[in-house]
Chains A and B, each alone.
Chain A
Amino acid sequence: MAEVAVLGVLAVAAASLDALLGGRRWDAPLREAARLLTTARRATVRSDVPLMRTGVVVLPVAAAVAAAVVPVGGGVAAGVPVSVVWFNAMEVVAWAAVWLVGWGTNSAFALVGGYRFLAQGLAYELPHMFALVTAALAAHSLDFREIAAAQDGLWFGVWMPVGFAVYLVSALAMTFWGPFGHPVGDDVAGGAVLELSGADRLVFFAGRYGLLAVAAAASVPLFLGGGAGPVLPGWAWSVVKAAVVLALLVWARRRLPVLRMERFMTAAWTVLIPAVLLQMLVVGIVVV
């Protein structure tokens, strides 16, 4: 369970870094959390409370359950032989979470945000899946630990850069973060999360940071050689690499504008998927 806790700490650190990059104090997220915890929840007329609450709660739960299969160093909380597929399944739970929240609050802009995320998810799940499969193909395994172990000497990120790049881009999209924050965009007054308040809002956003941290941590065994590295023990290298990737993802939010989904969806279907398929072909030829 220590591995899950480490990723939880990374998620909090990501929130702090985001506050710092946004010109606020490092403890701004903690203050915001305290404020949300003491705020009364706002209720909307004829909202579907069970569905909305389900959407809120399921996001951090999915992040934690995904974190359980991501190895930190050599250790992993739950040793599942098909951990890559499990990780992907838990990422997809975010689709349900955003749609449920958008739908459940019975609010027009929130509903628009929820539907936006489904369109986004469909465009990004395929490239994301193929990026995962590319790494799995090279290692002949769907187990994060074996994929990390297969990168003896040469990291997958080095000799399959397209796969790594597509993974990072689609990971941003799967966590509706930064340039892919259209489902919670300002043009729809905050989108899916518009009506969330109090503890609901806190839990939902904590879940999103958790998912972001898990996506960054998963890139370490997939493309960055897992816990391999000189001097430091394996777990320390895993944490350092995950922290660097996570910092990059957080930084991307402040540097890149939010993209209109329908525009970028074209790029997803016509550039990302063919590119990652070609990468997979190259990897397949090299491996076989």
Chain B
Amino acid sequence: MVWALGAVAVACGVAVFVVDSMARATFALLASFLCTGGLLMAAGLHYPGVLVILMMIMEMLVMAVFMVMYMMNPAGLMPMSMLHNRRGALAVAGTAFAAMVAGIVAVPWPERAGRPPDEPAVALGEAIMGSKMLVMMVIGVAILATMIATVVLAMKSGRYGDDA
């Protein structure tokens, strides 16, 4: 299962650079992300896994709009390629890949200590935020309030009135 999901994720990642339309590339990338979410779920991390699936669908759909909008041809229906600056990209990608593989091989991985927690989501939250949990919750609400306020202000009937 894990290997199959990983293989599909990689295949879809490759497809992003093979297909000739922005819409197809977007959804190939989305498929790749969904497989990653599935991998998290297969690892027993249900909440982060489902969250990745939920967020990635929303995010990629919004991104599809912008990606198509900013393309060279207005409708985005003309064939296109995701490959630019091949030589430079190949060098950067090759170096990054080599560095990461070297890291995997060279780093002495720690042995597992203890057993996995009953509630991985709670443990993950504690590990990431710890004593900053309360601060994060307050900031989260503040960010949301800012988002809503921004939208309200940006609306036609908002800050500048109807004839602005």
Contacts and interface: CB of A to CB of B under 8 A. Distances in A.
Interface of A: 46, 48, 50-51, 54, 80-82, 85-86, 88-89, 92-93, 95-96, 99-100, 103-104, 106, 115, 118, 121-122, 125, 142, 266, 269-270, 273-274
A115 B57 contact: no
Given A266-B157, A269-B151, A273-B148, A48 B21 contact: yes
Contacts of B148: 269, 273-274
A122 B62 contact: yes
A118 B57 contact: no
Interface string B123-164: 000000000000000000000000010011001010000000
Contacts of A142: 47
23 contacts: A48-B21, A51-B23, A51-B24, A81-B46, A82-B46, A82-B47, A82-B121, A85-B50, A85-B54, A89-B53, A89-B54, A89-B57, A92-B57, A93-B57, A95-B57, A95-B61, A96-B27, A96-B61, A103-B23, A118-B62, A118-B65, A125-B58, A269-B151
B43 to A, nearest CB: 14
Given A51-B27, A96-B27, A96-B61, 12 more contacts: A46-B77, A48-B23, A80-B46, A82-B50, A92-B54, A96-B30, A142-B47, A269-B151, A269-B152, A270-B152, A273-B148, A274-B148
B51 interface: yes
B10 interface: no
A270 B157 CA distance: 12
Contacts of A54: 27
Contacts of A96: 27, 30, 57, 61
Contacts of A80: 46, 50
Main secondary structure of the interface of B (DSSP, over half): helix
Interface residues of B, number: 24
Nearest to B49: A82
Contacts of A82: 46-47, 50, 121
Nearest to B51: A85
Nearest to B77: A106
B130 to A, nearest CB: 20
B155 A266 contact: yes
B80 interface: no
B8 interface: no
Contacts of B151: 269
Contacts of B152: 269-270
A100 B27 contact: yes
B64 interface: yes
B46 A99 contact: no
A137 to B, nearest CB: 12
Nearest to B119: A81
> 9 closest A-B pairs (Cβ-Cβ)?
A89-B54, A85-B50, A89-B53, A92-B57, A95-B61, A82-B47, A82-B46, A86-B50, A269-B151
A142 B157 CA distance: 38
A118 B27 contact: no
Nearest to A103: B23
Contacts of B64: 99
Contacts of B24: 48, 50-51
Interface string B45-76: 01100110110011001101100000000000
Contact of B58 (A86, A95, A100, A269): A95
User: Most chain-A CB neighbours within 10 Å: which of B50, B62, B157?
Assistant: B50
Contacts of A118: 61-62, 65
